[in-house]
Amino acid sequence: MLKPGQTRFILAFMVILFHLSQSVFLGEFAVGCFFILSGYWISLMYERKYSKIKSTLKVFYISRVWRLLPVFYTFTILAIITSVLTHHDLLLKFNELDTLQKKLFLTANLIVLGYANSKNPIIVPAWSLDIEMQFYLVFPLLIYFLRNKKQWLIAVTVLFFLTTVFILATHQTYLSKTVFNYLFLFFTGVIIYYFNVKPGKVVERGSLLILLLIFAAHLLIPSLLVRVRDNSGEYYAVLSLVMILMATPALINSAHNQTNKFDKFLGEMSFTIYLSHWVWIVPYNALILNASKAARVPYVAGFMVITLLSSYIVYRFIDRPSEKLRHNWIKKQALKTEPEFNAAQKHKVAVT
């Protein structure tokens, strides 16, 4: 049984493999699984930590932005440097944007919001951070009304699923890159937490077997492989959604499994790996431009080594110090709440 950190680490590697080879059509699948896990962990943290702090919304929003931006900024700067050094036409593409597009581009790279719909993103996988940020914005409001009305929580999640179906069926290009297309996945994770869902081993293994068969069929049957290589098509989106649902029991059980220090390290590293690999994609693609598949092997090995190394360096010297500061700040906010809580308890006793 996979631990939570192991699961996230594997999902991050699926995204890397997807960007290295379109035959590994697991990019959307992996990100969708991340969204389900995010819905679960955000619900857990909100109930156990943020909701017990006086300025809940302020602390929640600042904390979530703080969690993402330091690492995002670091890899954005590194990606710009590697693009310039490899003569990638990043600056040329920026100059070709109109005034409004330039403003949206700069805004998206400052606050992440709007990144998924911005032109010429610097770090392509960062589109999912935009969706995460949008989820953070709506989560406290929705959960305020739904946390004590579990039947409504299910109804709203079904509504979000129908919204996803509508977006796919009507080819809503803009909406497909907003949180409205993914709220169903986030709230699947929310339901898992609030209903304490724990699938049995038979369900988990059966779902994983179906998932494996679907993957194998599309990998081995040429006509199906051609269809999934078009990762902007409707078929790919629907297939990814089906595969995500098949993986959900395993995701749920991994979230419930006991973690340890090394597993936490893997989970934390998954974030830096997820962004880091794109920094080296441009130079990697330039190096393998005319190389045969056999000749690409040492480049792939070098790519993986430098991705892991740069991920760890940013994790060690940027992410961990930033996270320590963030957690200390949250603790201070919680301590501000305790005197008021104790005073209220004393008043309650006195009145009683």
Residue range of the domain that includes 299: 4-351
Number of domains making up the chain:
1
Q: Is pLDDT at 348 greater than 80 in this prediction?
A: no
Condensed to tens digits (0 to 9), the pLDDT of residues 215-259 reads 999 999 999 999 998 888 889 999 999 999 999 999 999 999 999
Condensed to tens digits (0 to 9), the pLDDT of residues 169-198 reads 998 889 999 999 999 999 999 999 999 999
Say if residues 272 and 314 touch (Cβ distance below 8 Å): yes
Strand, coil or helix: 120: coil
Lowest-pLDDT range of 3-17, 24-38, 96-110, 249-263: 96-110
Q: What is the mean pLDDT of residues 331-341?
A: 77
30 vs 86, more confident: 30
Q: What is the mean pLDDT of residues 66-71?
A: 98
186 vs 292, more confident: 186
CA 94 to chain centre: 26
What is this structure's pTM?
0.93
Q: How high is the pLDDT of residue 350?
A: 40
SS (H, E, C) 193-220: HHCCCCCCHHHHHHHHHHHHHHHHHHHH
Q: How high is the pLDDT of residue 351?
A: 37
Q: How high is the pLDDT of residue 142?
A: 94
Burial classification of residue 97, based on how many CB atoms lie within 10 Å of its CB (0-12 exposed, 13-18 middle, 19 or more buried): middle
Q: Give the contacts of 207 (CB within 8 A, at least 6 positions apart).
A: 199, 246, 247, 248, 249, 250
